Amino acid sequence: MTNNANVAAGQQKLRSKKGHERRINGTIYTVLVVMSIVWLVPFVFLVLQSFRSYKLEKGGMVDYLLPKHFSLDNYAFLFEGSNFFSWLGKALIVGLIVAAVSAVLIHACGKLLDKGEESRGRRIALIGGSLLVGFVALTALTAAMQGFVLAGSWVKVLLSLLLFVLAGWIMARVYLKQDSKLLRSIPGYVVEDRHEGLKKFVAMLAEFLVLGIIVQFILAPMTMSQYVRWYINTLTIALFTAVLQTAIVLSVSYALSRLRFKGRKLIMNAVLVLGLFPGFLTMITLYFLLKQLGLTQAGAVPGLILIYCASSGMGYYISKGFFDTIPKSLDESARIDGATRFQVFLKIIMPLAKPIVIYTILMAFMAPWGDYVFASYVAFGHQNGYNVAVGLYNWVNTNDFQNYFTRFCAGGVLVAVPITALFLALQKYYVEGVTGGAVKG
């Protein structure tokens, strides 16, 4: 009887414990759901208001959520006076054709180079010939579809050719066996995968599609509305900042993680102390310095890139923490085999540090994407130098708020879409980078 009573008491205690856990978990989930709804409500409101026609309804704030007349008037206004959609359609067609031609040719060159030892001249001839054919196809298609005339545009042609050759050379090198580790940057890539060739080709196709569109923009630029110009300014600043800032941050982080030199602790402590002071304290000084260099107003885009990248090395903390978790024995083994520090960093550490690389790129991209303070005082009233945040704010601040509110909402939705999609696609690596770099292993 005593044993039965003990068993019953144990089961009752277990049920009570499970019930308590269910209640706690239910409370936590309820709180999280409420927080998610509160977080999403403003965005839902923004999206719905962007579809409220400013021609058929009152333009400003209203006391109802659902539009009475769903319309794309606000989005049409953003591209008014621009040939963006027709240009994009033509650019995609040109880009796809050029991407297919270039990818096939580089793929063929890569296969030839893999079959045996080739002389340097032979390699240059193979890759150069392939790229030249792709570039001729690009210019011919651009000429046919955009009415582009080569006469008087040799600078654009040479710049485009340089970009084309550089990208093609890099992608051709990827096909060589000694550079196969670069392919680990492709999402879903698996070493020694039987679909490796197909993944290489698809990655090549995507690379040349983007390149074809970029070169198309140089050779036959679109007519831009105010909003499109602001959007391109923002995208240009964010992309250049992401690349430069990532390179600087990862280099500083690797040096402070792996190298031991005199003054290392002093530098780290000094950077930590300097980081306690907000960047806004330097706004006046930065403005006059950039003004002397011609990097304000009309030159606001390169000026902002310089501002965002200048002190980026001070944000090394999380990246350094991640590098500290990678065993130093890998570095030592590679050094014994004759690798340089740069080769160790590029070919050994970088493939292992994909989460922190993606995290750094995301952070570097997101900061200038939504920045208003620095962008507003560097552009200082010059509309062609605005980014999207400054341009949209001026719509509702200096223009008629009642008429521009819904157009402001439409512009905000288009700003939010790419960064939201990018974050959702790379969320896994973002979380891995934060958690891996937060605690030293």
Alpha-carbon distance of 337 to 349, in angstroms, equals 15
Tens of pLDDT, residues 268-280? 888 888 877 777 7
Mean pLDDT for 379-408 is 82
Half-sphere exposure of 8 (CA within 13 A, CB side): 5
Max Cα–Cα distance, the chain, nearest Å: 104
Question: Do 105 and 218 belong to one domain?
Answer: yes
Q: Is residue 246 predicted with pLDDT exceeding 50?
A: yes
Instruction: Give the span between the Cα atoms of 349 and 331, in whole angstroms.
Output: 8
pLDDT at 63: 75
Please report the pLDDT score of residue 192 as a whole number.
46
Distance of CA 178 to the CA centre of its chain: 28
Which pLDDT band, with edges at 50, 70 and 90, does 110 fall under?
low
Taking the C-alpha atoms of residue 419 and residue 414, their distance in angstroms, rounded to an integer, is 10
Question: Where residue 188 falls among pLDDT bands split at 50, 70, 90?
Answer: very low
Residue 190 has pLDDT above 50, yes or no: no
pLDDT digits (tens, 9 = 90+) for 118-163: 555 555 566 666 666 666 666 666 665 555 554 446 676 777 777 7
pLDDT on residue 114:
55
Domain of 381 in residue numbering reads as 226-441
Query: Would you state the pLDDT for residue 93?
Result: 78
3-state SS, one letter per residue, for the chain: CHHHHHHHHHHHHHHHHHHHHHHHHHHHHHHHHHHHHHHHHHHHHHHHHHCECCCCCCCCCCCCCCCCCECCHHHHHHCCCCCHHHHHHHHHHHHHHHHHHHHHHHHHHHHHHHHCCCCHHHHHHHHHHHHHHHHHHHHHHHHHHHCCCCCCCHHHHHHHHHHHHHHHHHHHHHHCHHHHHHHHHCCCCCCCCCCHHHHHHHHHHHHHHHHHHHHHHHHCCCCCCHHHHHHHHHHHHHHHHHHHHHHHHHHHHHHHHHCCCCCHHHHHHHHHHHCCCCHHHHHHHHHHHHHHCCCCHHHHHHHHHHHHHHCHHHHCHHHHHHHHHCCHHHHHHHHHCCCCHHHHHHHHHHHHCHHHHHHHHHHHHHHHHCCCHHHHHHHCCCHHHCCHHHHHHHHHHHCCHHHHHHHHHHHHHHHHHHHHHHHHHCHHHHHHHHHHHHCCC
pLDDT of residue 171: 63
282 and 423 share a domain?
A: yes
Q: Give strand pairing partners of 52.
A: 70
CATH number of the domain that 406 lies in?
A: 1.10.3720.10
| pLDDT for residue 274 | 81
Predicted local confidence at residue 115, as pLDDT: 53
Q: What is the pLDDT of residue 436?
A: 52
* 69/93 same-domain check: no
Lowest-confidence segment of 17-26, 168-177, 197-206, 389-398 by average pLDDT:
168-177
Same domain, 326 and 368: yes
Comparison of pLDDT for 358 and 428, the residue scoring more = 358
CA distance 430 to 359: 5
Question: In the numeric block, which tokens belong to residue 3?
Answer: 């044993």
Domain count along the chain:
3
User: At residue 281, does pLDDT exceed 50?
Assistant: yes
Say whether pLDDT at 189 is over 50: no
One domain, residues 294 and 420: yes
**What is the structure's pLDDT at 263?**
82
Domain boundary among 222, 251, 276: 222
pLDDT tens for 36-83 read: 888 888 888 888 888 888 777 776 777 777 888 788 888 888 888 888
Nearest to 74 by CA among 389, 398, 385, 392: 392
Whether 199 and 279 map to the same domain: the answer is: no
- CA-wise closest residue to 411 among 138, 151, 78: 78
* Co-location of 96 and 162 in the same domain: yes
pLDDT band at 182 (very low <50, low <70, confident <90, very high): very low
Same domain, yes or no, for 159 and 211?
yes
Select from 167, 202, 222 the last residue of a domain: 222
Q: Do residues 241 and 384 share a domain? A: yes
Same domain (yes/no): 35, 148:
no
Question: Is the model more confident about 364 or about 142?
Answer: 364
Which residue type, as a one-letter code, is found at position 413?
Answer: V
End residue of a domain, out of 222, 241, 265: 222
% of the chain with per-residue pLDDT over 70: 72
Give me the pLDDT at residue 373, please.
84
**Residue 187 pLDDT level (bands cut at 50, 70, 90):** very low
The predicted model gives 312-339 an average pLDDT of: 82
Alpha carbons 325 and 348: distance in angstroms, whole number? 14
Residue 101 or residue 227, greater confidence: 227
Separation CA 330–CA 312 (nearest Å): 27
Instruction: List the structure tokens of 221.
Output: 């630029």
Same domain, 296 and 374: yes
Q: Give yes or no: residues 91 and 160 share one domain.
A: yes
What per-residue confidence (pLDDT) applies to 183? 46
